[in-house]
Amino acid sequence: MLSHERKTHLLSLLDEQGSVVAKDVSRELGLSEDTIRRDLRELARDGRLKRVHGGAVPIAPANAPFPGRVGIATPEKVEIGKRAAAMIEPGHVVFLDGGTTAIQLARHLPRHLDATVITHSPNIAMELLNHQGLEVEIVGGRLLRHSIVTSGAATIAWLGRYRPDICFIGATGLHPDQGITTGESEEAEVKRAVIEKSGSAVILASSEKFGAVSSFEVARWTNIDGLVVAEEASRKAAELFGHLGCEILSTNQTGSRR
Amino acid sequence: MLSHERKTHLLSLLDEQGSVVAKDVSRELGLSEDTIRRDLRELARDGRLKRVHGGAVPIAPANAPFPGRVGIATPEKVEIGKRAAAMIEPGHVVFLDGGTTAIQLARHLPRHLDATVITHSPNIAMELLNHQGLEVEIVGGRLLRHSIVTSGAATIAWLGRYRPDICFIGATGLHPDQGITTGESEEAEVKRAVIEKSGSAVILASSEKFGAVSSFEVARWTNIDGLVVAEEASRKAAELFGHLGCEILSTNQTGSRR
DNA sequence: CTTGACTCTGCACGTTTTTGCACGTTACTG
DNA sequence: CAGTAACGTGCAAAAACGTGCAGAGTCAAG
């Protein structure tokens, strides 16, 4: 492994997780801590990160050139994002919802994947600029500040043009009886519309949403084809949602739908 | 195997994997490491990749985490952005083009301005998240990577919904006889459409564009109401464009149109 | 067909860079 | 304030490097 690769890895870890622990990385990469520390020292000297006891943190903590741009990337969300990204195959037309988990998905798409991504989040769109192979379509409309997605009648109308192969949708509530819910009415409408148009619908769900119910219905379980969860949460997900007819996809499994 | 083939192979490996390890390639191709190293050295000399200990990495690490893309903010562009931002009044419905100068405009909008901004650039939209008072509308469509704006038939069609009071448009060529031009056909179409729909049209123009002509026409001078230039460039602008019927707005002046 | 100029490739050899370990020091933790 | 973990530095082995050189192959002129 090249020194440059390690440094890139360290920086992206920092970006994804907000901090880096030298010991963990050394174990992960199978290298001595000394080597990692040396890398960290050099990166710190170049002003790419800030060295702290035990590891490193971003140079300007919580500084946001863009406000609330990425949000907190918990390891669980990263894991879900990776897993979901792996489901997308060349040639697919994919709808990507907004939200921090979807960002992780975008970030972990293969760099040269040849596919089309439709999104109503400028955030996601910016994230995908790096991916040369992708065609990116933005669904316009009024921008919701809080969630960084467009919504409203115009957005819904515009969505009518698309028939994605698969859509990845975030939600704030997943309940066996109450279905999939979210906390914002306008957002819920968009999600509903997308799911209706898509060949298959996959929910990105971190475990804190399990069993929760928010105010606005996004979908019933019968309309959902897949649920991407972190491996650690897969048992709980199976218990709660296993009998509802949607496939539960956690990171240890392979294969995709459709 | 020809040297040229190897080099192509190396570059495509780099493209696919983000890095190349000399040893691995030499083993893969059954050649000595020396040969691979020589190739890498030559490619590095030609600026096709960056040589590092152990192998090579892409010349420009596409690994620009997130905002990275804001572009270079020259003092002149900042000045133009400030000046143009000052033209926007409460209640206005404004269309903002993409581009680095427009970013500066967005950045210098009063933080609590109560207005509506329509834009086809996710970049601009993200920048405006900070501004609580603004309503932001995104115009959807296919995303052009290079300029970070949407374009295409869908974008044009969508624009039909709006009648902005004023639009701020960037361009790469401003010529007394040849009018306003830009270098990308699709972008030009969008700019034309916006100008047609807008109450007044203002061009954001840094001085290096003066006298230049690009390939695609955006507008004739008769359709342009204002030209925002930096103070230092205002004399030159007046000479070149003063007689063409559009107001030249430099930073020492006040007042806005309409 | 032969010859000579030229290029490409692999090897040898000395140099530089990287890496892991040892050891003394510094910073957290309870 | 003591114990532990992390740290930085010096050092030696290993890996990668660049250079010079010789043999093999190519091509065109003779």
Predicted confidence pLDDT, tens digits, chain B (258 residues): 688 888 999 999 988 788 999 999 999 888 899 999 999 999 999 889 999 999 999 886 444 433 444 456 678 898 999 999 999 999 999 999 999 999 999 999 998 899 999 999 999 999 999 898 999 999 999 999 999 999 999 999 999 999 999 999 999 999 999 999 999 999 999 999 999 999 999 999 899 999 999 999 999 999 999 999 998 899 899 999 989 888 888 765 544 444
* pLDDT value of position B249: 83
pLDDT digits (tens, 9 = 90+) for A48-83: 899 999 999 887 644 334 444 455 566 688 889 989
Q: Please tell me the distance in Å from A243's CA to the nearest CA on chain B.
A: 39
pLDDT at A74: 66
B93 lies in some domain: yes
For residue B37, which nucleotide's C1' is closest to its Cα?
A: D17
For A14-27, what is the mean pLDDT? Answer: 86
Task: Tell me, yes or no, whether A43 and A152 share the same domain.
Answer: no
Q: Which residues of A touch B (CB under 8 A)?
A: 2-5, 8, 11-12, 15, 65-70, 111-112, 120, 122-123, 125-130, 132, 135-143, 145, 148, 150, 154, 158, 161
B229 and B189, same structural domain? yes
The answer to whether A69 contacts B126, with C-beta atoms less than 8 Å apart, is: yes
Summarised one tens digit per residue, pLDDT across range A84-97 is: 999 999 999 999 99
Residue B160: both structure tokens together = 């039909």
Q: Do A126 and B129 touch (CB under 8 A)?
A: no
pLDDT at A151: 97
Q: Identify whether residues B96 and B145 lie together within a single domain.
A: yes
Question: What confidence score (pLDDT) does residue B68 get?
Answer: 40
- What per-residue confidence (pLDDT) applies to A67? 41
Predicted pLDDT at A255: 39
A227, β-bridge pairs: A203, A248
Is residue B65 situated within a structural domain?
Answer: no
Residue B137 has its nearest CB partner, among A11, A67, A141, at A141
Check which CATH number belongs to the domain holding B199 and give it.
3.40.50.1360
- Which CATH number goes with the domain that contains A35? 1.10.10.10
The whole-number Å distance from B56's CA to D17's C1' is 13
Chain mean pLDDT for chain A: 88
Please check whether residues B110 and B194 belong to one and the same domain: yes
Give the number of domains in chain B.
2
Please indicate, yes or no, if residue A255 is contained in any of the structural domains: no
A148 vs A1, higher pLDDT: A148
- pLDDT confidence of residue A62: 40
Chain B residue with minimum CA distance to A129: B145
pLDDT at residue number A108: 87
User: Are residue B172 and residue B49 in the same domain, yes or no?
Assistant: no
Neighbours of B90 (CB within 10 A): 10
In terms of domains, do B89 and B53 share one? no
Residue B104 within any structural domain of the chain: yes
Beta-carbon contacts of residue A86 (< 8 Å; ≥ 6 apart) = A108, A256
B54 chain-A contacts, CB cut-off 8 A: 2-3
Q: How large is the average pLDDT for residues A189-196? A: 97
* Surface-to-core class of residue B7, CB atoms within 10 Å of its CB (0-12 exposed, 13-18 middle, 19+ buried): middle
Residue A252: which pLDDT band, with cuts at 50, 70 and 90? low
Looking at the structure, tell me whether residues B99 and B48 fall in a common domain: no
Domain around A21: 3-57
Residue B257 has what pLDDT? 40
Cβ A41 to strand D below 7 Å? yes
B71: left (phi over 0), alpha (psi -120 to 50) or beta: left
Res B255: pLDDT: 42
Question: What is the per-residue pLDDT for A77?
Answer: 85
- Give A145 to chain B, closest Cα distance, Å: 6
Residue B33: Cβ within 10 Å count? 14
Estimate in Å the CA A42 to C1' D9 gap, whole number. Answer: 15
C1’ D27 / CA A19, Å = 61
Note the pLDDT of residue A79: 83
Residues 22-61 of B with CB under 7 A from strand D: 22-23, 33-34, 37-38, 41, 51-55
Residue A34 located in a structural domain: yes
**In this complex, do B53 and A2 lie within 8 Å of one another by their Cβ atoms?**
yes
Residue A52 and residue A97 share a domain: no
Same domain for A207 and A238, yes or no, is: yes
Q: Which of A24-28, A175-179, A245-249 has the weakest average pLDDT?
A: A245-249
Q: What is the spatial order of strands in the sheet that B173-175 belongs to?
A: B173-175, B179-182, B216-219
Same domain, B234 and B185: yes
Chain B residue numbers with beta carbons less than 8 Å from the beta carbon of A11 are 63, 65
CB contact under 8 A, A2 and B15: no
Sheet holding A179-182, edge to edge: A173-175, A179-182, A216-219
Comparing CB atoms, the residue among A5, A127, A140 nearest residue B139 is A140
Which of B138, B139, B190 would best serve as a mutation to test chain A binding (most A beta carbons within 10 A)?
Answer: B138
Residue B13 lies in a domain: yes
In this predicted structure, what is the pLDDT of residue A52? 92
* Domain assignment of residue A66, yes or no: no
The pLDDT of A146-163, averaged and rounded, is 95
d(CA B107, CA B85): 8
Q: Chain D bases under 7 Å from protein CB?
A: 5-10, 15-20
Has residue A251 got a pLDDT over 90? no
Question: Are B36 and B96 contained in the same domain?
Answer: no
Same-domain pairing of B188 and B108: yes
> How do A166-170 and A200-204 pair as beta strands?
parallel
Report if residue A64 sits inside a domain: no
Q: DSSP assignment, residue A257? A: -
User: Percent of chain A beyond pLDDT 70?
Assistant: 90
